[in-house]
Structure 1
Amino acid sequence: MDVSKEIIEAVKDAGIVGAGGAGFPAHIKLNAKCEVVIANMAECEPLLFTNQALVEHHPDEVLQGLQIAMQATGAKKGVIAMKKKYEACKKALEGKVGGYENIVIHELGDFYPAGDEHVMIKEVLKRTMPMSGIPADVGAVVHNVETLYNIKKAYCDKKPVTEKFVTVAGAVRHPLVVKVPIGLRFAELLDLAGGPTVKNYILVDGGPMMGNEVDAGDAVTKTTSALLVIPEGTMPYISRKTRIEVMLNRARAACCQCRNCTDMCPRYLLGHSLEPHRIMRTVSYGIPDPETVKNSLLCSECGLCEIICSMGLSPRRINSKLKRLLQEKKIRFPKMNVERERFERESRKYPTKKLIARLGLYDYSHPIDYADIKIDAKEVKLMLRQYAGLKLLPLVKEKDEVKAGELIAKAPEGKPGVNLHASIDGIVASIDETSVVIRRE
């Protein structure tokens, strides 16, 4: 077996998925030839410090993971794309990067959403991905830095993914970045951070812009980058508490077709055929013909349109609903080349500081330290669907004794998905359609 196949098999066996996004299986990305591998370290959502802490404390593992990804894909160049303001990360890497052949650092501006793959490819390589395209279409593969860390652990140390680096921030007493077992309940993460400092709040798994609202009883997955306590009165709180039916009624009554959401849309500025203001007009007058709104499939759901809209509307949420409907009908937007980017794109990059202020999260936006502590979890809840792909099939039954790192579920034969491993030693306490609960005796 050649080195590329060895790497891909090791990554597949370890159950590695994209650590910062939709959770696409990493071994599938590595099974493609490319010219350059980009380590995504933009971490452009406010309040998140997970990737920064990881790179500051584990620069060698990230660099080794990037080098291994280059070997697997045949890439001649590796790029660490990080914001210029991450000075501590740059200092940690600059002392190491010289020891790795053909790896360089590319500094990004401090704007949102610099971490979007289409935007990052344009910033780093000056290439434009096709609409509905992927980085491989322009000779690149993009991995989150924690994914690269996991690739190193899988290939060099033979360790599966059982832990996750997570930021716990927002309205908490002691914000921190910590490494925890996958499946740890969010309630325990809150306890680690000293608990909420406000009475009314929501919990968000991920960033304040694109993260999902969760309950304290839910658990850390392989894609959990943060647990944020978002207080009442802030824009992320209000947006998530507004029902989609109310949003549609508002769109019908209040959307003035000013086209600000379109003019500031990062995908539109790249030249994509996405005009949120037109979609809002079409949808507000009833359920449209799917073919007339299939451009919504081009939306990255970054949420910048919510920030821009002076009427408090959310084209992002409308697009998200439309995308689900279109996917159910198996309607796709065809892969098409972009004619040209909009000439005004550079002047319309949205500053992160402005975004934080608009969200109402300025008081919670400050650097967070990594807490190098051992988490003695008594119980974990491992979700059978926590990333792209079908629901996994359990390989264990109730009352089975398992060890941390033991394979407990896998994807159906021939279907997309990745392996799932026990994150603590213990007994299988329960199994249902959604999860496997392991309890330490």
Structure 2
Amino acid sequence: MIDSNEIIEQVRNAGVVGAGGAGFPAHIKLNNKCDVVIANFAECEPLLFTNQALVMAKVDEVLEGLQLAMKATGAKMGIIALKKKYSDCKRVLSDKLKDYDNMEIFELGDFYPAGDEHVIVREVLGRKIPMAGIPLDVGAVVHNVETLYNIKKAYSDKLPVTEKFVTVGGAVKYPLVLNVPVGMKFSELLDLAGGPTAKDFILIDGGPMMGKEVGLDDVVTKTTSALLVVPINTLPYSSRRIKIDVQLKRARTACCQCRICTDLCPRYLLGHKLEPHKIMRAISFGLMDAESLINSLLCSECGLCEVTCPMGLSPRNINASLKKMLFEKKVRFNKTLVETERPEREIRKFSAKKLLVRLGLSDYYRHIDYTDKKIKAKEVKLLLKQHAGSPAIPVVKVGDKVNKNDVVAKIQEGQLGANIHASIDGTVVKIDETSIVVKSE
């Protein structure tokens, strides 16, 4: 008999967090009751093949992880939500589902951002998560498929999260999906892909829409879904070159109030009070106490407004700046029920193919399969904060010998966070406020 408390404890000990996005600790989600667990297999960001490669290579582990998540939460149903175009993955999953009870597949359309939790719950269950709410508010828990894989490894194999499946793509010689040690330098990943094929480029940790710009010396974390080489003359490149003060000046002078940002906003179409064009107008007139500014807290920062703005503005970045300011002032948006969604929502879903073209990345789209190759790192830098919540506290000191899977930093007592484990055998050579460096012998 599988004990739900044991699942939660093992997942906590293993440091499992959401494998994409903010890295919310998985044991917190599992320590709640719901009626359905959704496996988020949308992978809606362009150029990413991480989840697809994982499911093709490790389908049983993913389904076992879903089974464990259902057991921990008391869910009666598990639903794998994947895009209809992932036909090979659907075939592999369908062949295996006969061995599992109370699981089914739901096919999503090929639109962006299908993987947003509010969107995926609406698509799969027809339920409307409250504004500023979470899936649990409507009886659901959502886990990325790689998170489910890690839940299985934590409970069944007693293995912590020390490796990460990563797409290395964009303008590289040999795009690939690898399973690499957490803490490995991005420069080493780039070398494994044959290096960049563009002279002028930026590196993005994650997808081209919501990923963050990084450097060659930055490292893989538990939430790194991809390392993309994005060349000049693409929208993800140019948008990340414009500083926020310049964006604010442009907003004040160039916004023509055309409403495109609002009319295509996924959260607005769900019935939320977020109207980006009104936020841009408030900024233009210096109305810093306007109600519309508070509504910026509802923004998921998907970036669709940035892609579609005819004036080349970025309501997304304006919203992100406002959210930061409001959080610092401890301003919160109170959870509010969604009354009705917009009737035009279905016809305004934004095509993933169109998105790829708008981003200027069509030339770099090619299917990538998993490369089953043992990757070794001579040195890893383990960040103490790879998750939502507080940084982990080191439990080792410089000079200590560690083995792969050993705990090197623990959750602070009573705090939201995740344990950190050594991803290679070696010696601790450096500890500072943000990281632990381990060098192999």
User: Deviation per CA, 1:367-397, whole angstroms, max 9, x where unpaired?
Assistant: 0011110111100000011210112110011
Partner SS for 2:240:
helix
User: Deviation per CA, 1:238-268, whole angstroms, max 9, x where unpaired?
Assistant: 0000111111111111100011100000000
- Distance in 1, matches of 2:248 and 2:117, equals 29
- Distance in 2, matches of 1:179 and 1:65, equals 18
Match of 2:138 in 1: 138
Give the CA deviation at 1:180: 0.2
Match of 1:226 in 2: 226
Match of 2:257 in 1: 257
Give the CA deviation at 1:295: 0.4
Match of 2:160 in 1: 160
Match of 1:409 in 2: 409
Identity %: 67
Report whether the alignment pairs 1:302 with 2:302. yes
Report whether the alignment pairs 1:247 with 2:247. yes
- Distance in 1, matches of 2:105 and 2:326, equals 39
What aligned pairs does 1:279-428 form with structure 2 within 5 A after superposition?
Answer: 279-286=279-286, 288-289=288-289, 292-428=292-428
Report whether the alignment pairs 1:57 with 2:57. yes
User: Deviation per CA, 1:56-91, whole angstroms, max 9, x where unpaired?
Assistant: 111100000000000000000000000000011111
- Structure 1 residues 287 and 407: CA distance shift in structure 2, 3 A: farther
Report whether the alignment pairs 1:43 with 2:40. no
Match of 2:431 in 1: 431
Match of 2:236 in 1: 236
- Distance in 1, matches of 2:237 and 2:181, equals 28
Partner SS for 1:370:
coil
- Distance in 1, matches of 2:394 and 2:95, equals 44
* Equivalent AA in structure 2 for residue 394 of structure 1: P
Give the CA deviation at 1:4: 1.0
Partner SS for 2:67:
helix
- Distance in 2, matches of 1:112 and 1:326, equals 27
User: Deviation per CA, 1:163-182, whole angstroms, max 9, x where unpaired?
Assistant: 00000000000000000000
* Equivalent AA in structure 1 for residue 176 of structure 2: L
Partner SS for 2:397:
coil
Give the CA deviation at 1:284: 2.9
Partner SS for 2:8:
helix
- Structure 1 residues 78 and 2: CA distance shift in structure 2, 3 A: closer
Match of 1:27 in 2: 27
Give the CA deviation at 1:411: 1.9
* Equivalent AA in structure 2 for residue 375 of structure 1: I
* Equivalent AA in structure 2 for residue 359 of structure 1: L
* Equivalent AA in structure 1 for residue 416 of structure 2: P
- Distance in 2, matches of 1:56 and 1:245, equals 45
Give the CA deviation at 1:286: 3.4
Match of 2:12 in 1: 12
Partner SS for 1:24:
coil
Point out where structure 2 has 5 or more consecutive residues left out of the alignment. none
Give the CA deviation at 1:2: 7.4
- Distance in 1, matches of 2:80 and 2:391, equals 33
* Equivalent AA in structure 1 for residue 145 of structure 2: V
Match of 1:174 in 2: 174
Give the CA deviation at 1:292: 4.9
- Distance in 2, matches of 1:194 and 1:278, equals 46
- Structure 1 residues 28 and 290: CA distance shift in structure 2, 3 A: farther
Q: Which moved more, 1:351-360 or 1:389-398?
A: 389-398
- Distance in 1, matches of 2:120 and 2:376, equals 38
- TM-score w.r.t. the length of structure 1 is 0.99
User: Deviation per CA, 1:74-131, whole angstroms, max 9, x where unpaired?
Assistant: 0000000000000111111111011100000000000000000000000000111000
- Distance in 2, matches of 1:198 and 1:312, equals 24
- Distance in 1, matches of 2:323 and 2:410, equals 28
- TM-score w.r.t. the length of structure 2 is 0.99
- Distance in 1, matches of 2:2 and 2:197, equals 54
Partner SS for 2:317:
helix
Partner SS for 1:62:
helix
Give the CA deviation at 1:289: 2.2
Partner SS for 1:321:
helix
Give the CA deviation at 1:285: 3.4
- Structure 1 residues 333 and 376: CA distance shift in structure 2, 3 A: same
Give the CA deviation at 1:273: 0.2
Report whether the alignment pairs 1:199 with 2:199. yes
Point out where structure 1 has 5 or more consecutive residues left out of the alignment. none
Give the CA deviation at 1:145: 0.2
Give the CA deviation at 1:339: 0.8
Aligned residues: 441
- Distance in 2, matches of 1:287 and 1:23, equals 34
CA contact (8 A) 2:282 2:290 kept: no
Q: CA RMSD in A?
A: 1.0
- Distance in 2, matches of 1:82 and 1:198, equals 32
Partner SS for 1:295:
helix
CA contact (8 A) 1:290 1:326 kept: no
* Equivalent AA in structure 1 for residue 72 of structure 2: A
- Distance in 2, matches of 1:439 and 1:286, equals 52
CA contact (8 A) 1:19 1:147 kept: yes
Match of 2:67 in 1: 67
Give the CA deviation at 1:299: 0.3
CA contact (8 A) 2:234 2:359 kept: yes
Q: 4+ residue stretches of structure 1 with deviation over 2 A?
A: 284-287, 289-292
- Distance in 1, matches of 2:104 and 2:415, equals 36
Match of 1:82 in 2: 82
CA contact (8 A) 2:81 2:106 kept: yes
- Distance in 2, matches of 1:371 and 1:377, equals 17
